A and B are shown apart, each in its own frame.
Chain A
Amino acid sequence: MLSRERSNALRQSTDRILVSHAGNLPRPDYLNELIEGGVTLEAAAGDEYHRRLPRAVQDVVEQQVLLGVDIVNDGEFAKAGSYGGYMIDRVTGYSTPPEDSAPPPKRAGTWSATGENSLGITILDFGPLAPAVLSVLGLPRRVGCAPPIREPHGYARQWLPTPAK
Chain B
Amino acid sequence: MVTYSGQVAVQADVEHLKAAIQGKDVEGYIAALGPLNLGAGVRNEHYSIEEEYMYAVSDACREEYKTITDAGLIVQVDEPEFCTSWTFYPDWDVDDLRKYLSFCVEVINHAIAGLHEDLVRFHTCWGSGHRPHVNDIQLRYIADLLIKINARQYSIKAASVRHEHEYHVWEDVKLPEGKRLMPGVISHATDLVEHPELVAERLVRYAKLVGRENV
Contacts and interface: CB of A to CB of B under 8 A. Distances in A.
Contacts of B64: 90
Interface string B154-179: 01000000000000000111100000
Contacts of B9: 78, 89-90
Interface string B1-18: 111111001101100110
Most buried by A among B90, B153, B184, B212: B90
B42 A53 contact: no
Most buried by B among A65, A84, A161, A164: A84
A108 B119 contact: no
A23 interface: yes
Given A53-B16, A54-B16, A163 B171 contact: yes
B44 to A, nearest CB: 9
Interface of A: 5-14, 17, 20-23, 50, 53-54, 57-58, 60-62, 64-65, 69-74, 76, 78-79, 83-84, 86-87, 89-94, 103, 106-110, 122, 125-130, 146-150, 152, 155-156, 160-161, 163-165
A129 B60 CA distance: 17
B152 A129 contact: no
Contacts of A84: 33, 37-38, 78
A90 B2 CA distance: 10
A74 B16 contact: yes
Interface string B137-153: 00011001000000011
Interface string B81-98: 100100111100110000
Contact of A90 (B10, B56, B89, B203): B10
A11 B27 contact: yes
B180 interface: yes
Looking at chain B's contact residues, the main secondary structure is: mixed
Interface in B70-127: 72-74, 76, 78, 80-81, 84, 87-90, 93-94, 116, 118-119, 121, 123, 125, 127
Contacts of A108: 87-90
Interface of B: 1-6, 9-10, 12-13, 16-17, 19-21, 24, 26-31, 33, 37-38, 40-43, 46, 56, 60, 64, 72-74, 76, 78, 80-81, 84, 87-90, 93-94, 116, 118-119, 121, 123, 125, 127, 134-135, 140-141, 144, 152-153, 155, 171-174, 180, 182, 184, 203, 207, 212-213, 215
Given A22-B123, A110-B41, A163-B172, A61 B24 contact: yes
Given A84-B33, A108-B89, A150-B135, A65 B72 contact: no
A126 B81 CA distance: 12
Contacts of B1: 92-93
